[in-house]
Amino acid sequence: MHWYEKLNQYFPIEEMKSREHMETLLKERSDIYHKDEGPNHVLMYAELDDFVFIDYLFVSKDARGQGLGHKLLEKMKQKGKPIILEVEPVNYQDSDSGKRLHFYKREGFEHANSIGYERRSLATNEVNKMEILYWAPNKESEELIFEAMRKTYDKIHTYKDQHFYGESYQPVEEVLTFNEDPQSQNILDNL
């Protein structure tokens, strides 16, 4: 099965980029956008000078529980940069969402309590809320993580969006928010 089909079957439609978008990123942004693929995994990520953003991490059901996800994250951690990713909030109807958060917590990821992320999906037209998780090898601040997410949104998520989807995503100022005094609960601490 093609790598895109693996991702498309696993991730919700509102989180997926189009195949054309991702293939264009791999070709035209090959300086920063990368694919690590094996028989049981697909890892799509952007690496910039000061951080790594994991766009998609898929491990096949047959390989789960065998340490493959851990090995892939360790490979990213070896770069010595903060690692950032987006996950959907825990949905108690979907046991996978809780398992993913447990997995990332075990891997040393923290929930960015002060960063809000809400974007209208061009596929469904519904507002999609995501949680930002990060691994900070040098205790990088959430301000730095926020700025990295802004770069990711501009360089990856909205890259040629008008061309691929017939309309543009919302501007970064509407999608990402930073709250200096977060009152939200740390969901990872509660798992």
Q: Is 182 exposed, middle or buried (CB count within 10 Å of its CB: 0-12, 13-18, 19+)?
A: middle
106-146 pLDDT tens trace: 999 999 999 999 999 888 888 989 999 999 999 999 999 99
d(CA 111, CA 84): 10
d(CA 151, CA 164): 20
In the predicted model, is pLDDT for residue 182 greater than 70?
no
In the predicted model, is pLDDT for residue 148 greater than 60?
yes
Residue with tokens 């690692």: 83
Domain 3-190 maps to which CATH number in 3.40.50.150, 3.40.630.30, 3.40.50.10470, 3.10.180.10? 3.40.630.30
CB count within 10 Å of CB 186 equals 12
Stretch 170-188: mean pLDDT? 76
d(CA 190, CA 87): 16
In the predicted model, is pLDDT for residue 176 greater than 90?
yes
Q: Domain spans of the chain? A: 3-190
Residue with tokens 């798992």: 191
What band does 104 get if pLDDT is binned at 50, 70 and 90?
very high
Beta bridge partners, 135, equal: 83
Does the pTM surpass 0.85? The reply is yes
In the predicted model, is pLDDT for residue 26 greater than 90?
yes
Q: Is 84 helix (H, G, I), strand (E, B) or coil?
A: strand
pLDDT of residue 184: 45
Stretch 173-180: mean pLDDT? 94
CB count within 10 Å of CB 47 equals 16
pLDDT of residue 110: 95
